[in-house]
Amino acid sequence: MELPDGFVPQLIALDLDDTLIEHDGPVHERVVDAIARVQSMGIMVVASTGRSLSTTTPVCRAAGMLDWAVCSNGALLASVQPEEIVESISFDPTNLLLEIEKRVPNGSYGVESVSGLFRTNRAFSHAALTEEVREVPFEHLMSEPVIRLVVRSDEHVDEGLGFLAEELGLHSVVFGTGDVAWLDIGPKGVSKATMLARLCDRLGFDPALTMAVGDSMNDIEMLKWAGVGVLMGHAAPQMRQHADVVTGPVPGFGVAEALDAIRG
């Protein structure tokens, strides 16, 4: 792949799952070396992920990205070393929970607190979200502001839960289906891109001198915002309209290919 002539970013933002790593997979040595090389050029490399802080920082440390991490789809900014929450954006989930529960009464609901605790009314797979999970009664999900609300339903696999986004005018939302229909809801107007923009303001970086690498729906705003948006080669074809260039399809190796294209 080729980048615009002479393009050298100040900051590179990397999605984690299916971009930097395969789900629950290791960080490959090739991408660790590529990250170290661009960092030696004075370029900052940060994670930008839907994961919570608890499952983000181990990957960052393994990759050698020790500065900043944008977590929970942009609702949280943290330093990696030391591990510390620097900024968060929360919302009251009460009205959303009550309205969605009317429409999906048998759904599984979970909320993520600012501290990273994930509370759910019914256990479901959460490995990529957070390490800290507590099962509680439904009404306890409304006890404090949250940075994320997750909805899952086995009964809506065929049609999905996208209809809720339109009916309820939800906050920032990503949705899809697989073995289960799901919604991942964040604060209104918040995305990976908005927190990356705040990080650039904090550091005095020019957003035009940024690169972002991602593969999925929750990366769209980030890819469009970045000076150069790089899409993983395995991403759905409709994603290509949101990126400037496409890299290889293999997680880690595609990122290394993109980083290796940077020449100081």
The CATH number covering residue 158 comes to: 3.30.1240.10
Residue 127 has pLDDT above 60, yes or no: no
Stretch 189-196: mean pLDDT, rounded? 96
How many residues are there in the chain?
A: 264
Range of the domain at 228: 11-88+190-260
Residues 98 and 168 in one domain: yes
Residue 176 has pLDDT above 70, yes or no: no
Mark which of 186, 212, 240 sits at the end of a domain: 186
Write the CA distances from 249 to 174, 235, 254, 263, integer angstroms.
22, 8, 6, 22
Euclidean distance between CA atoms 222 and 85, whole angstroms: 21
CB of 151 within 8 A of CB of 182?
yes
Residue 117 confidence class, pLDDT cut points 50, 70, 90: confident
Q: In the chain, what is the straight-line distance between the N-terminal and C-terminal CA atoms, in Å?
A: 16
Residue 133 has pLDDT above 90, yes or no: no
Residues 172 and 196 in one domain: no
Mark which of 166, 186, 206 sits at the end of a domain: 186
pLDDT at 128: 57
- Preceding amide of 82 cis, omega within 30: yes
CB of 8 within 8 A of CB of 41?
yes
Instruction: Classify residue 52: in a domain, yes or no.
Output: yes
Residues 102 and 182 in one domain: yes
Instruction: Classify residue 122: in a domain, yes or no.
Output: yes
Mark which of 186, 205, 235 sits at the end of a domain: 186
Residues 182 and 118 in one domain: yes
Ranges assigned E (strand) in the chain: 11-14, 44-48, 68-71, 76-79, 84-88, 108-112, 118-120, 133-135, 148-153, 172-176, 181-186, 210-214, 228-231, 245-246
Instruction: Classify residue 2: in a domain, yes or no.
Output: no
For the chain, what is the domain count? Answer: 2
Euclidean distance between CA atoms 109 and 98, whole angstroms: 11
Residue 52 has pLDDT above 80, yes or no: yes
Euclidean distance between CA atoms 219 and 234, whole angstroms: 14
Query: Which candidate, 104, 41, 70, places its Cα nearest to that of 196?
Result: 70
Q: What percent of the chain has pLDDT over 90?
A: 75
